Amino acid sequence: MAVGSIVFAALALACAGLGVITTPIPVLGAVFSFGAPALALAGVVMGGVAMSRGKRARTSTDAAVAGVIFNGLCFVPALLTALTCGVCNALWSGGKIEARRDFHFDVQAGTPRQGASPGQPGRAPEPPSQRPGATPQPDQPPAAAPPGAAPPPAFPPPPIQQPRAAPEEPQ
Amino acid sequence: MQPVLTVIRLGDRELPIGSYGVMLCLALVVVALGVLATARKAGLDLGACIAAIGTTVGAGFVGAALLHGLVQCVRHGSLQALLLPPGMAFFGAALGVGAVLPLCRRWLELPVLELADRSVPVLCLGHALGRIGCLLGGCCFGRPWQGALAIHYNHPLAPAAALGAARHPYPLYEATGLLVLAVVFALLPVREPGSGRRLIAYAASYSLLRLGLEPLRGDVVRGVFFGGALSTSQLIAGGVLVGCAMLALLRRRAHALGHT
């Protein structure tokens, strides 16, 4: 059970990574993203049980302790992946958001750089370099991504962009 | 308010790290470490405690998501609402945890009520941290309000920003109330650990806090039941209060019978 706990931690970490990579793929990304913390929690439970049994049987609990610590450390990034990529993929799969190549988060300014801003419903205007006939600036991204490249998702969707009946938020 | 704490860039892709998720992780870490410290102090089996924490956290998430889904179904009048974007409800987490506690007690042979009684201040603290996550994330917002402490949600990624207007800082009120509860429970001595007295007191006091603050909530998810008169939280908080009162009466009667 202690070894199983360590295996679960490795699987959780792998699932979290796959969750990030497969975010644009409907359903699959959510399966990986939400599966990662579930695996880490299962690993924690297995490690704890192994610790308890080892203590009662007076055998070594080192592997179990390692499993618990490893799973605990994996749980944090796994949960963050679930709450970002997993929720994003769930929105994506439900057809609630529109993927936009030009969407970027701007933490410092507190607003998405090229997304919709408050009071501006609908699609944001294209930057000058992406307008037909405009000259691309050296410090700006190219207008079109390489063929076959998956577009990054716009998460969370700007509320103004797609008005909903009610914000789906924790109570 | 800062819904996106930071953005990690992986090549040409961006991975936003939400403040709500970070605060939720912090709350879980604080609660887990606090419960383990309490268990060590009480001389309980640490391995069993770790397994119990893992089980209850998982049950809490499942319960929170299920209750949110149920509310959405009631709101929309269709099971298809389960396919809507996922969400979480605190009382669902509490119900999920409550459902698996007896299981942990039997399976892990752990005195879960004693552990819970001793850990109440840490539970309050973790709960308060979660509410600060709501404040940073811009969710669970209050009614429009122009007075003291009013918050204007202006970040476009905050759900409250879509509705505009300055609002009551509801998550801040609740976090403050929970911090006060944490201090009170930390100062009160633990009498009869394992009787569930402190856990019942926490459930009752939080339900009262929630019932008192609920009218200040401003998100449109409120008022789902009885023609919009009651929200899910009010309904559950009322049920929890009645349950706590009945348990207290039963305990008093059992105590009186024991003395005669």
Indicate whether A113 belongs to any domain. no
Mean pLDDT across B178-193: 92
Does B33 contact chain A (CB < 8 Å)? no
Indicate whether A132 belongs to any domain. no
A39 lies in which domain range?
2-93
Indicate whether A78 belongs to any domain. yes
Indicate whether B209 belongs to any domain. yes
Confidence of residue A107 (pLDDT cuts 50, 70, 90): low
Weakest mean pLDDT among A27-36, A144-153, B172-181: A144-153
Indicate whether A45 belongs to any domain. yes
Indicate whether B220 belongs to any domain. yes
Q: How confident is the model at residue B43, as a pLDDT?
A: 92
Give A-chain residues touching B24 at CB under 8 angstroms. Answer: 79, 83
% of chain B exceeding 70 in pLDDT: 95
CB contact under 8 Å between A80 and B159, yes or no, is no
In this structure, what token pair is assigned to residue A156?
């969370």
With residue B14 as reference, give the H or E element that holds it: strand B13-18
Mean pLDDT across A24-36: 87
Indicate whether B55 belongs to any domain. no
Strands B151-152 and B4-10: unpaired
Indicate whether A99 belongs to any domain. no
* pTM for the model: 0.78
Does A76 contact chain B (CB < 8 Å)? yes
Closest residue to A171, CB basis, from B17, B46, B68: B68
B251 pLDDT exceeds 70? yes
Indicate whether A120 belongs to any domain. no
B223 pLDDT exceeds 80? no
Q: How confident is the model at residue B184, as a pLDDT?
A: 96
Q: How confident is the model at residue A66, as a pLDDT?
A: 94
Helices vs strands, H then E, count in chain B: 7, 4
B180 pLDDT exceeds 70? yes
**Of B169 and A165, which is predicted with more confidence?**
B169
**Of B219 and A13, which is predicted with more confidence?**
A13
Indicate whether A12 belongs to any domain. yes
Does B80 contact chain A (CB < 8 Å)? no
Number of domains in chain A: 1
CB contact under 8 Å between B22 and A85, yes or no, is no
Indicate whether B84 belongs to any domain. no
Q: How confident is the model at residue B70, as a pLDDT?
A: 86
Q: Write down the mean pLDDT value for chain A.
A: 69
Indicate whether B80 belongs to any domain. no
Weakest mean pLDDT among B39-48, B202-211, B247-256: B247-256
Interface of A with B in 106-135 (CB under 8 A): 107, 110-112, 115-118
Q: How confident is the model at residue A160, as a pLDDT?
A: 43
Mean pLDDT across B108-117: 92
Indicate whether B40 belongs to any domain. yes
B150 lies in which domain range?
4-44+111-259
CB contact under 8 Å between B51 and A52, yes or no, is yes
Number of domains in chain B: 1
CB contact under 8 Å between A55 and B47, yes or no, is yes
Q: Write down the mean pLDDT value for chain B.
A: 87
CB contact under 8 Å between A170 and B108, yes or no, is no
Mean pLDDT across B207-232: 79
B148–chain A nearest CA distance, Å? 24
Tell me how far apart the alpha carbons of residues B65 and A171 are, in angstroms, rounded to a whole number: 10
B97 pLDDT exceeds 90? yes
β partners of residue B16 = B7
Indicate whether B213 belongs to any domain. yes
Give A-chain residues touching B231 at CB under 8 angstroms. Answer: 171
Give A-chain residues touching B21 at CB under 8 angstroms. Answer: 79-80, 83-84
Q: How confident is the model at residue A127, as a pLDDT?
A: 40
**Of B223 and A133, which is predicted with more confidence?**
B223
**Interface-testing mutation among B76, B82, B84, B217, with chain A (most A C-beta atoms within 10 A):** B84
Indicate whether A134 belongs to any domain. no
Residue the block writes with tokens 């408050």: A118
- One-character DSSP codes across B110-161: --HHHHHHHHHHHHHHHHHHHHHHHHHHT-S-B-B--STT-EE---TTSGGG
Does B52 contact chain A (CB < 8 Å)? yes
Q: How confident is the model at residue B219, as a pLDDT?
A: 75
Give A-chain residues touching B155 at CB under 8 angstroms. Answer: 110-111
